Amino acid sequence: MACMFIAMQAYASCETVLTPSEAAAKAQRGEPDSCCIEGYVVSTEDIYTGYYENQSFMMADQPGGAPVFKAWRVYGVDHTIGIGSYVRIVDAPVKMYGNIAETYSGFMVQIISEVPTVVNLPEFGTLLDADEARDLCLTFPYHDQPTEDMFIVSGYAISVSTSETDDEIQTVYMSTTHNGEVMFQAWECHAVRNTQGTVMHIEEGDFVYVTGYLSRYNKNAQIKGGYVATSRVKPYSIRVTSDPDKGSALISGTTSFTEQDAGAMACNLEAIPESGYEFVMWIDPRFVNPSDTDADTDLKVAEFILDWYNTVTNFTEEQLQEYLEENRIDPEVFNARVDIIEKLLQPEVTLNDYDFAVWMYINDMADEQIFYFSPVFRLAEGIDQITNDKSQMTNKVLRDGQLFILRNGKTYTASGAEVK
């Protein structure tokens, strides 16, 4: 786990000190006498956003305990107070506000210690949603103190502003839903470029990923000066097609995708070959040149992909490294391509929204709204050895429950043996 190290401060103690629970009981009894209150900060949701010296937070008797008392707009420190800090409210009268026991506003808070002195962070490069990133940042005791490790934060762009001096620099306010509360801020981040070198400007409603160093500014969680990239949020759908003479394709599950849900939505594909045929793999029929009239072009494409897969997955580590360097392929992109091909080699496969995102990326199909998948079939063992060209005609005949293939005036069994 990565760590964030925090300094500690100390102050002189008060003569009479109450715990947050004791201060709450005092307020409930209607005793307004001033007192000192020491306890742990367990929530900073009510921090006043205007100035550091005008903050609100909930207190408990123990670290992470149930909140029992509210420090209302106290002042006295030069940075926002983090969750886990052990603090003292100095000589403040207490009162009830509805069901909440709290101080009056305008009294001083002192930080006795920042607890914990080390904030445990997820591993480098961890993907957090906007809500998780905010909750983590609010544990940081000091404002604008970035982590040493980089993280990735995902969410929907609620509002976007572009720098007047550099249109590649954008500030994006993010939430976990299309129209939710702003939870995270990508502050003055660089919009990344696509594979064609075009800047991918962020627009409201886009699902985005921000990479950089986490920090907090008042109650705002943020990455400042990082990189922001958009992912597809336009609705897209999945369709299947097949050659009915060779087999059929079934689709079930989710076929329309509108959000990134970390693999929660999935689409099921099933290929069913006709008698005498066998499944090879799923391909996108748009890989096939429409001007090519060869009926087996889809099979050639599938076999080309299969040959590549069999070649690279049998490399030694040294050969693989040499291949990646020669072809300038990022190892993560390579692994993603291998993973998706492994799935597409299965006649029954479940693909989730992450798989489709990978498929879009490695095939540069970011502007597509409908994805097509077609099962490729070939003649079963024996039959696939029969020469086939454009002039040949193939027909299937069932006689007494047995399949026969008629091709160029000759008859073959399903195993490929010629019937004399």
Q: For 224-258, how does the pLDDT look when each residue is reduced to its tens digit (9 = 90+)? A: 999 998 865 456 788 899 999 899 999 998 887 75
**What pLDDT, on a 0 to 100 scale, did the predictor assign at position 7?**
40
Q: Is the pLDDT of residue 376 over 90?
A: yes
Q: How far apart are CA 231 and CA 207, in angstroms?
A: 5
Residue 67 makes CB contacts below 8 A (sequence gap 6+) with 42, 43, 58, 59, 60
Tokens standing for 209?
């990923």
Q: Is the pLDDT of residue 216 over 70?
A: yes
Distance of CA 67 to the CA centre of its chain: 32
Per-residue pLDDT band at 412 (split at 50, 70, 90): low
Assess whether the region 2-113 and the region 123-231 belong to the same CATH fold: yes
Tokens standing for 131?
């809500």
3-state SS class at 322: helix
Helix residue ranges per DSSP H, 12-85? 20-28
Tokens standing for 120?
């445990």
**What pLDDT, on a 0 to 100 scale, did the predictor assign at position 95?**
93
Mean pLDDT of 127-137: 87
Q: Is the pLDDT of residue 18 over 90?
A: yes
The half-sphere exposure of 29 on its side-chain side, counting CA atoms within 13 A, is 10
pTM of the model: 0.43
* Phi, psi at 121, each rounded to 5°: -115, 155
Q: How far apart are CA 408 and CA 69, in angstroms?
A: 90
Residue 314 makes CB contacts below 8 A (sequence gap 6+) with none
N- to C-terminal Cα distance for the chain? 73
CATH fold group of domain 2-113 = OB fold (Dihydrolipoamide Acetyltransferase, E2P) (2.40.50)
Q: How far apart are CA 81 and CA 251, in angstroms?
A: 53
Mean pLDDT of 168-184: 91
Residue 374 makes CB contacts below 8 A (sequence gap 6+) with 240, 241, 242, 243, 249, 282, 283, 284, 285, 298
**What pLDDT, on a 0 to 100 scale, did the predictor assign at position 405?**
62
Per-residue pLDDT band at 24 (split at 50, 70, 90): very high
**What pLDDT, on a 0 to 100 scale, did the predictor assign at position 5?**
38
Domain boundaries, the chain: 2-113, 123-231, 236-379, 383-419
Query: Position 171: which residue type?
Result: T
For β-strands 266-273 and 247-253, DSSP reports them as antiparallel
3-state SS class at 270: strand
Q: What is the CATH number of domain 123-231?
A: 2.40.50.140
The residue ranges of DSSP E strands in 332-369, in sequence order, are: 348-352
Per-residue pLDDT band at 364 (split at 50, 70, 90): low
